Amino acid sequence: MPDTKYVLAIDQGTTSTRAIVFDHSGQIVESGQIEHEQIFPRAGWVEHNAEEIWKNTREVVGLALTRANLTYKDLAAVGITNQRETAVVWDRTTGKPVYNAIVWQDTRTQKIADELGALGGGADRYKAKVGLPLATYFSGPKIKWILDNVDGARAKAEAGDLAFGNTDSWVLWNMTGGVDGGVHVTDPTNASRTMLMNLDTLTWNEDIANDMGIPLSMLPEIKSSSEVYGHGREGGMVPGVPIAGILGDQQAATFGQACFEVGHAKNTYGTGNFMLINTGTEPIPSKNGLLTTVCYKIGDQPTVYALEGSIAVTGSLVQWLRDNLGLISSAPEIEQLAKTVDDNGGAYFVPAFSGLFAPYWRSDARGALVGLTRFVNKGHIARAALEATAFQTREVLDAMNADSGVDLTELKVDGGMVQDELLMQFQADILGVTVIRPKVAETTALGAAYAAGIAVGFWNGEQDVIDNWAEDKRWEPQMDDAERDRQFRLWKKAVTKTFDWVDDDVV
């Protein structure tokens, strides 16, 4: 492969879309990033404008290539990584979404989940087949909601005129031609987050789709995470360039962090937090509130599975303090504000804005700031907000240790919040394990780039990923056991105060 070639990754995230150009050593050459609007029509509802996302995708690709002084001819391949579980339903003939994308954080489908559970099996009705509990988090119930609530949508779906995808499929379809022959494909990491895919066969489950009233014709074809799906459309951003990798964002970060051995784990600090542990080529059912999911599938190699702990609100809590309360004017200021105090002053912030995900799965929970006294100031609140991320991660790690039977001794971390060194030290302290940050923290985009590059021979395989990975910094635990136990006990007490808030009279 000529040295002048690069791989482009499109990272379609919850708050923004980015395009990053990587060289053969896995280093960032240049990037472009544009935020998109967060739409909140009602309490608990979260939407995105899928057409805005597609427009931003085109723009960020142009930005990244222009800043790198490159053209599409310099690209060996394009990879896509995306916010998972965010459902887009669009008309195949017009190319227009029939409704806004319903975001993974959205809770409007609770009634649908309850009704399906009432048919038998409760929240675990489909868990043995799909690895997931019935919850508002996943894509399947969102599709049903759109078909049930958008005029004419169900008739169009049954006529074969509507397509569904998480944002990976939406971006790929548009990039490869849209209404003029766009490729309608997803990969197993995204498909495993819909509640509609059999974990063992990586095929759509017709019975579950029927239960939800979803025609199979809407669903994308499931291909591996690393193969050529199609090529950039003529007249587009990357005409003729192979689009050859798709990984859901958290699996992409796991791949980019070179977690290829059983027991390797990473935690991504983004809008939410997501910890994954590689469990090998057999899915392991969780007994402790984790999700069984596909980790990655490279070409025709065996499928690799993972256990995942999903936390809904971490980085978005910092965003909330900035946008809703005006406590800070930019996200990085949170660390400096937190440093103005020595501890949390007895305050604990449980950000259950859209319920609690792993390990509780309590949709009836709502956020709480507890332990307040006149002593508490904005520095303490900032510190409590950061500590909430670390405490929630500890709860997931405990569940992961219990399910896997292996006590992790170190945790690889990535995502925007890992630049916050106060948080990283507290994370090591409250976990009691070493926390390691890589030199390239944008491991989500990097993982998608690797998947695409491997498919076209730009990289030879997993060993190239391992060879490229490099440590930037590590944090060792400094907190004594008694203090760690005390703080975690108070955190667990605070969590219980968020339960049972939502009732028939409160959305």
DSSP 450-500: HHHHHHTTSS-SHHHHHHH--EEEEE---S-HHHHHHHHHHHHHHHHTTTT
How many CA within 13 A on the CB side of residue 285? 9
**What is the model's pLDDT at position 3?**
53
DSSP 360: T
Q: Are 245 and 449 in contact (CB under 8 A)?
A: yes
Please check the confidence at residue 39 and state whether its pLDDT lies above 70: yes
CA distances from 395 to 337, 348, 406 (A): 26, 15, 15
Bridge partners, residue 78, by sequence: 8, 243
CA-CA distances (angstroms) from residue 446 to 227, 242, 244, 429? 16, 17, 14, 28
Q: How far is CA 48 from CA 9, 63, 83, 262, 268, in A?
A: 21, 22, 11, 36, 22
pLDDT at position 412, please? 92
Which phi-psi region, left, alpha or beta, contains residue 29 (left: φ > 0; alpha: ψ -120 to 50)? alpha
Q: Distance between CA 413 and CA 252 in Å, rounded?
A: 13
Q: Which residues are annotated as a binding site for ATP?
A: 14-16, 271, 315, 319, 416
Task: Give the 3-state secondary structure of residue 68.
Answer: coil
Share of residues in the chain with pLDDT > 70 (%): 98
Give the confidence band of 361 by pLDDT, cuts at 50, 70, 90: confident
Annotated binding-site ranges for glycerol: 84-85, 137, 249-250
- Banded model confidence at residue 504, pLDDT cuts 50, 70, 90: low
Q: Is residue 343 helix, strand or coil?
A: coil
pLDDT reported for residue 225 = 98
Please check the confidence at residue 21 and state whether its pLDDT lies above 90: yes
Could you list the residues known to form a binding site for sn-glycerol 3-phosphate, using ranges: 14, 84-85, 137, 249
CATH number (3.30.420.40, 1.10.569.10, 3.30.70.360, 3.40.430.10) of 85-165+188-222 reads 3.30.420.40
pLDDT in tens, 53-90: 999 999 999 999 999 999 999 999 999 999 999 999 99
Q: Which residues fall in the annotated binding site for ADP?
A: 14, 18, 271, 315, 416
Q: What average pLDDT does range 167-179 have in this prediction?
A: 97
Residue 223 to residue 29: CA distance in whole angstroms: 29
> What integer is the mean pLDDT of 351-366?
89
The DSSP output letter for 260 is -
Residue in this structure with the two tokens 């896509």, named with its chain if needed? 80
**Which residue is listed with tokens 């809703």?**
324
* Residues flagged as binding site: 14-16, 18, 84-85, 137, 249-250, 271, 315, 319, 416
The string of DSSP letters for 123-177 reads GGTTHHHHS--S-TTSHHHHHHHHHHHSTTHHHHHHTT-EEEE-HHHHHHHHHTT
- Give the model's confidence band at 2: pLDDT under 50 very low, under 70 low, under 90 confident, else very high: very low
H/E run at residue 317: helix 315-323
| Parallel, antiparallel or unpaired: strands 88-91 and 162-165 | antiparallel
Q: Which two tokens stand for residue 388?
A: 């909430």
Residue range 216-268, pLDDT digits in tens = 999 999 999 999 999 999 999 999 999 999 999 999 999 999 999 888 889 98
Least confident of 286-300, 404-418, 475-489: 404-418
For the ranges 31-35, 115-119, 356-360, 486-490, the lowest mean pLDDT is seen at 356-360
Say which residues have a Cβ less than 8 Å from residue 241's Cβ, sequence separation at least 6. Answer: 8, 72, 75, 77, 78, 231, 232
Angstrom distance (rounded) from CA 317 to CA 293: 26
* pLDDT tens by residue, 85-144: 999 999 999 999 999 999 999 999 999 999 999 999 998 999 999 999 999 999 999 999
Structural contact between residues 429 and 484, judged by C-beta atoms closer than 8 angstroms: yes
Residue 347 tokens, joined: 């305050």
Cβ–Cβ under 8 Å, residues 408 and 402:
no
Euclidean distance between CA atoms 156 and 209, whole angstroms: 16
For residues 104 and 159, is the Cβ–Cβ distance under 8 A?
A: no
Residue 401 reports pLDDT greater than 90: no
SS3 319: helix
In this structure, the strands spanning 221-222 and 185-186 are parallel
Q: Which helix (H) or strand (E) holds 52?
A: helix 50-67
185 CB contacts (<8 Å, ≥6 apart)? 169, 172, 220, 221, 222, 223, 229, 230, 246
Instruction: Report the C-alpha gap between 34 and 315 in whole angstroms.
Output: 17
Mean pLDDT, the chain, rounded, equals: 94
Please report the pLDDT score of residue 203 as a whole number: 98
The CB density around residue 260, as the number of other CB atoms within 10 Å, is: 17
Please compute the mean of the pLDDT values over residues 404-420 and round it to a whole number.
86
Q: Which residue has the higher pLDDT, 305 or 44?
A: 305
Secondary structure (DSSP) of 217-259? GGSPEE--SEEEEEEBPTTSSSBT-EEEEEEEHHHHHHHHTT-
Give the strand pairing for 291-296 and 304-311: antiparallel
Give me 77's structure tokens: 């391949």
**Whole-angstrom Cα distance, residue 261 to residue 56?**
36
Residue 415: predicted pLDDT? 86
pTM, entire model? 0.86
How far apart, in Å, are the Cα atoms of 116 and each of 136, 194, 212?
12, 15, 8
Look at residues 350, 283, 262, 276 and name the one whose alpha carbon lies nearest to residue 309: 276
pLDDT band at 310 (very low <50, low <70, confident <90, very high): confident
